[in-house]
Structure 1
Amino acid sequence: MNANTRLEADRAIHRDGVVRASLNFIGPADGKPETYNYTPPPGVPVRNFGDDPHEVAIRDLRADPAAASLDREGFAVLRHRSAERDFADEAAIVGAYYAETEALLRQATGAHRVFIFDHTIRRRIPGQEDRAGQRQPVARVHVDQTLSSGPERVRRHLGAEAAALLDGRVQVINVWRPIRGPVLDSPLAVCDGSSLAPGDLVATDLVYPQHRGEVYSVRHNPGQRWHYLSRMMPDEVLLLKCYDSRETGVSRFAPHTAFSDPTTPPDAPPRQSIELRALVFGAT
């Protein structure tokens, strides 16, 4: 395909600022869905459910990145230039980058306290499965927390303070940033939380050697509204809400997934990104 033909194909796919792509939703499960994060016992599958792929329309926010908000849609796009560039020094990430991001979240949400509890760097290796030590983009629609695991995060990380903190508003927010840009390979699609229907979110166990965590898998629903920000740069961040204790008037969860953009050039560099996960207290 020559350059002109490619351009016309891209225009057709992106007509009206929309790209159509296949996303992996949860299929039928044998009991409560579960995924092992280590090699399971003999005869036990890594997952007891399959994927249910559906082609969906994913609207590009590039024309108006400020159109989405944490309260209304459950996600937001912010401009923020970090002093960190390569994200190769763990001490610098946990020190200076955590501090930068805490300040960003305070400003964006009005929170009186922010506690960042971990981060993940993803540097895609084509053909590599996501696993400890070599984290890859997750091409399955999910939410990192649930109605149960969100509060449990507060108890796990903040101990004696947890009961008092849980009396106020608590959010779990992921801060997602490209390390290299523009992101052409494996961009992130995010669902407008206000378009979710009852039953779309499916509690799914994550099985570790010493404990079980819980996330949401997501069933496909044609009423869901999907978005992404094309060609993201390192000075752009996505805030993704993974839990909100407020029960009315807001989106409490923002499902998300990496996806294969049909317009991605074959020579696009593999995606590199970092996500921080934070407990956000008292936001207005």
Structure 2
Amino acid sequence: METEKAVRHDLITTINYFHDPGDGSAPMPVYVGKDQVTNKRPMLPVTTTVTDVTSDQGSFTLDRNGFQYLKHVSELATSNGAEAFADQEKMQRELFFRVRGVVEGCASAFTGASRVFAFDHRVRRGPSDWHDNVRHRGPLHRAHVDQSYAGAEMVLREKVTDADEVWGLMQRKWGIVNVG
């Protein structure tokens, strides 16, 4: 019996990148506050092809590509639908527990982590011009990373309040992993 080959669904789209003026000046800072985000950096739209990797997911590794696909079906999402993601307390109590378990379960094989701490989540279903109302965050319309090196260290210091423990953790390899 012949196996059907998966059909790729590549997508041609526009991605907005930071427009570097080329004069060596530092980019305009992004301010992230409790109730507001200010990001007025100029953007440059670039037409590009986003490659569908659905049939190749197993070929990506954290070490080689900086990301890796793991398959996991969340009982929380399948049993409660979208409502499960609307209740902030339930997210922190149930989903964080489950995500931590998934990451801990693969940590030794993929990252070597001895400790996992789930600390934040984003549900992007608000308006696209959400910067003045961060409680209802919508999609972002620019290429970005979720954490800078300094931002990751800030999160570590905020979540692990014992200064000696933070110092000890920073002497070893540590990082922030996004789960989506």
TM-score normalised per structure 1: 0.49
Partner secondary structure for residue 70 of structure 2 = strand
Count matched residues: 155
Selected match of 1:71 from 46, 63, 76: 63
Q: Deviations for 1:248-281, whole angstroms, at most 9, x for unmatched residues? A: xxxxxxxxxxxxxxxxxxxxxxxxxxxxxxxxxx
Change (3 A) 1:24 1:79: same
- Pairing 1:24-173 to 2, within 5 Å after superposition: 24-28=16-20, 31-37=26-32, 46-85=38-77, 86=82, 87-110=85-108, 111-125=113-127, 128-131=128-131, 132-160=134-162, 161-173=165-177
In the TM superposition, residue 89 of structure 1 has moved relative to its aligned partner by: 2.3
More strand by share: 1
| 1:18 maps to 2:10 | yes
In the TM superposition, residue 99 of structure 1 has moved relative to its aligned partner by: 0.8
- Identity of matched residues, %: 24
Q: Which runs of 5+ in 2 are unaligned?
A: 1-6
More helix by share: 2
In the TM superposition, residue 147 of structure 1 has moved relative to its aligned partner by: 2.5
TM-score normalised per structure 2: 0.75
Partner secondary structure for residue 30 of structure 2 = strand
| Partners of 2:17 and 2:43 within 8 A in 1 | yes
Q: Which runs of 5+ in 1 are unaligned?
A: 1-14, 41-45, 177-284
Q: Deviations for 1:192-241, whole angstroms, at most 9, x for unmatched residues? A: xxxxxxxxxxxxxxxxxxxxxxxxxxxxxxxxxxxxxxxxxxxxxxxxxx
| Partners of 2:8 and 2:53 within 8 A in 1 | no
In the TM superposition, residue 55 of structure 1 has moved relative to its aligned partner by: 1.1
> What RMSD in Å do the two structures reach over aligned CA positions?
2.4
Whole-Å separation in 1 of the counterparts to 2:40 and 2:92: 35
Give the partner amino acid of 1:106: E
